[in-house]
Amino acid sequence: MNAKELQALVSLLDDEDAEVSAHVEQKIMSLGHEVIPFLEMEWEKSFNPILQKRLEEMVHTIQFDALLHRLKAWNESSEQDLLEGMWLVATFQYPDLDLAKLREQIEQLYYEAWLDFKPNLNPYDYVKILNSVLFGKLRFGANTKNFHAPANSMINSILETRKGNPIALCSIYLLIAQKLGLPIYGVNLPNLFILTYKTEEVQFYINAFNRGLIFTKEDIDNYIQHLQLSPNPIFYQPCTHADIVRRMLRNLEYSFEKLGDHAKSEEIKRLIIQISDSEDTGII
């Protein structure tokens, strides 16, 4: 379909006949992601607020449908690259976000950490070095003032502000640790996402929200007891990247609910369903 034909269709979007406008919208939407630049251009040219709103909604619907499919494909892939999963979450708010640029930023953070690493250290010393780099030199830290802000679930915002919630900080930490070859993984604790350093010989835990504080299984036991919950293996053992992305989405859903943005909250629920499985515990 050429530009003139598209313009003719767009001119009918505000037709008084609802059946005509609905048919036109369906026809344009069937063209998929490729039609978005044209719709955005038509929005800029228009002085009709009703038509502009219609165009905005169409662009959002196309982008959201694409995100649903991408997230499903990511969840079904064998790799489940964590950075890509975090990027997909962020594209809900920033549909034009560049994954390659995010990879470059993570690569730079990895390089900063790699410069301070030395061979043949014990696990605790490796973690202390990584803590020093991330929370000292690079100044990452807890976002306690705006804990429930949606930006806390957006990796681009976290990399820009160096502030985040527990799962966001753990995810950044995890991405760098994995590139350094450290056996560090995410752990799904209730109300607090943490990390574990785990090998056959040693296992301990890391709280990235508290500047990489190192603690033990006994500390988790006490924490679970304080919450009056029964012990569960998932509170102690590594979780998957899909678990991490699901929990990030649940945090985001809660953020929009607190803001009163129920439309976005409902859309996030649809994204969660897209990557849910029978073992999803719903922990936040």
Give CATH 3.10.620 domain extents, the chain.
Answer: 82-274
Classified as helix, coil or strand, 281 is coil
CATH class of 82-274: alpha beta
For the stretch 37-41, contacts whose Cβ atoms lie closer than 8 Å and that sit 24 or more positions apart, written own/partner, are 38/3, 38/6, 39/10
User: Position of tokens 């915002």?
Assistant: 157
User: Position of tokens 């369903």?
Assistant: 273
| pLDDT value for 31 | 73
| pLDDT value for 1 | 63
Classified as helix, coil or strand, 187 is strand
pLDDT digits (tens, 9 = 90+) for 192-235: 999 999 999 999 999 999 999 999 999 999 999 999 999 899 99
Reading the block at residue 232, the tokens are 């569960």
Angle formed by the axes of helices 82-90 and 49-76, nearest 10°: 160
pLDDT digits (tens, 9 = 90+) for 156-196: 999 999 999 999 999 999 999 999 999 999 999 999 999 99
pLDDT in tens, the chain (284 residues): 667 777 767 766 665 566 767 777 777 777 777 788 877 887 777 777 877 888 888 889 889 999 999 999 999 999 999 999 999 999 999 999 999 999 999 999 999 999 999 888 999 999 999 999 999 999 999 988 888 899 998 999 999 999 999 999 999 999 999 999 999 999 999 999 999 999 999 999 999 999 999 999 999 999 999 999 998 999 999 999 999 999 999 999 999 999 999 999 999 999 999 998 755 556 65
Q: What is the DSSP letter of 96?
A: T
Measured CA to CA in angstroms, residue 190 lies from 3, 183, 213, 224, 282 at distances of 53, 22, 18, 8, 10
Q: What is the DSSP letter of 232?
A: -
| pLDDT value for 280 | 57
| pLDDT value for 80 | 94
| pLDDT value for 233 | 93
| pLDDT value for 283 | 61
